[in-house]
Amino acid sequence: MDIKLKLNGKAISAQCDADTILLDFLRERGCYSVKRGCDTSNCGLCTVLMDGKPILSCSMLAARADGHSIQTLEGLQEEAADFVGFIADQGADQCGFCNPGFVMNTIALLRENPDPTDDEIRAYLAGNLCRCSGYDGQLRGIRSYLNSRKG
């Protein structure tokens, strides 16, 4: 079937099968930041933004993205660059596998709530799993970024 969507700001037309998963569709188009983790809608690794909202691309049919806007980390490098250094400074990204999902969901969080409390950060990022760090590094990194903005 034919679908049309905006991928990282660029209009594309493509063909896909009825059961092509958005994650595979995006990786076939070079968006390798979108990773397959649990494949059961639980880990947040495959997070992308659809019309600005974070969703799990492992559980979305590509056909459903027809007519919508999809953003991956490849298209949001500049916005991510603001805070990923703070996360790295805390040693939060150890193996780094979960990082793209964390970064995408953090972008969504900060767009929705530019000055979140620690509890709001924990709640928003609860759907992103990390096997290395125990989450404190990510929290410290985001807090440190938010503090830096306040001067």
C-beta of 59: minimal distance to another protein in Å? 5
Are the C-beta atoms of 92 and 133 separated by less than 8 Å?
yes
C-beta of 60: minimal distance to another protein in Å? 7
The Cα–Cα gap between 35 and 47 comes to: 8
The Cα–Cα gap between 1 and 73 comes to: 26
The Cα–Cα gap between 72 and 70 comes to: 7
Interacting residue ranges for another protein, rule: CB under 8 A:
1, 17-19, 21, 40-42, 44, 47, 50, 53-56, 59-61, 63-64, 105, 108-109, 123-128
Compare residues 17 and 89 and give the one whose CB is closer to another protein. 17
C-beta of 44: minimal distance to another protein in Å? 6
